[in-house]
Amino acid sequence: MTNFAPMTRRIVFATGNSAKLREASEILGPAFELVSPASMGLTEEIPETAPTLLGNSMMKAGYIHEKLSCDCFADDTGLEVDILGGAPGVHSARYATDGHDFAANVAKLLREMARAEREASVARAYGLAVKASRKARFRTVVTLILGGQKHFFEGCVEGRIARRRSGDGGFGYDPVFIPDFLPGDVPNSGAVTMAQLSEEDKNAISHRGRALRAMAAWLADNEA
Ligand code: ITT
């Protein structure tokens, strides 16, 4: 009997964020070997100046495809907070500073939300029907470039923003994001943050997990 080893797809993930790369490798599993641009000698920052998540994910994947002429994918992720009118959204990486300062971004988010809640309570005192919801969502848009053609995938997780940080897993805004549901569609009654989940549990419910599993399923269906 002949045994065929399962094929591994080698593909460049157009990111400079090592936490994302690790998560994506876990989500996609051994069927994929993810390669970072840095490991191919491309160490400059990949531009992401578009006004939308879709535009930025296309820009990042397009940049790597142009430089390295290879199949690749990129994700652009934003945290959309209702009381902030959808901010920080596409500006999530550089919300507080020009760099990717996770702690400063979280501090600014909590400050801005406290300010918006104070404004809403003043408005309500004057009889205005102003909502002050801490509801939020992470949204990821993935652009895959395969044989020069673009394909798009999206993933989203609904939740709310905690009043203080908890947990040291994950990265970015995870310590203040409370997903509505835990794996298995279990309601998150204990207000567990994304940073308090194991990597496996975060990936099972996360925006990135959903978008990348959709990409992997599409590849399995559309390729020999
Ligand atoms: P690349 O563009 O190089 O991939 P980045 O960190 O700039 O890395 P994004 O623009 O997609 O990535 O993400 C914007 C920010 O959103 C990111 O810097 C984090 O602060 C936050 N973020 C992204 N994914 C997240 C996640 O899974 N959990 C928590 N925060 C996340």
Tokens encoding 81: 């907070």
Q: Is the model's pTM score more than 0.85?
A: yes
Instruction: Please provide the DSSP assignment of 72-113 as one string.
Output: EEEEEEEEEEGGGTT-EETTSTTSSSSS--HHHHHHHHHHHH
- Kindly give the distance from the C-alpha atom of residue 122 to the centroid of ligand 1, in angstroms, as a whole number: 34
- For residue range 102-150, list pLDDT tens digits in order: 999 999 999 999 999 999 999 888 988 878 889 999 999 999 999 999 9
- Does residue 1 carry a pLDDT above 90? no
Q: Whose CA is nearest to atom 18 of ligand 1?
A: 93
Is residue 207 within 8 A of residue 141, CB to CB? The reply is no
- Kindly give the distance from the C-alpha atom of residue 6 to the centroid of ligand 1, in angstroms, as a whole number: 31
Active site (catalytic) residues: 76
**Could you tell which of 12, 13, 15, 17 is best to mutate to test the pocket of ligand 1, judged by most ligand atoms within 8 Å of the CB?**
17
Which has more pLDDT, 32 or 223?
32
Give the number of the atom of ligand 1 that is nearest the alpha carbon of residue 79.
16
Q: Whose CA is nearest to atom 4 of ligand 1?
A: 15
- Kindly give the distance from the C-alpha atom of residue 138 to the centroid of ligand 1, in angstroms, as a whole number: 10
Using CA of residue 113, residue 117, residue 123, residue 128, what is the dihedral sign?
positive
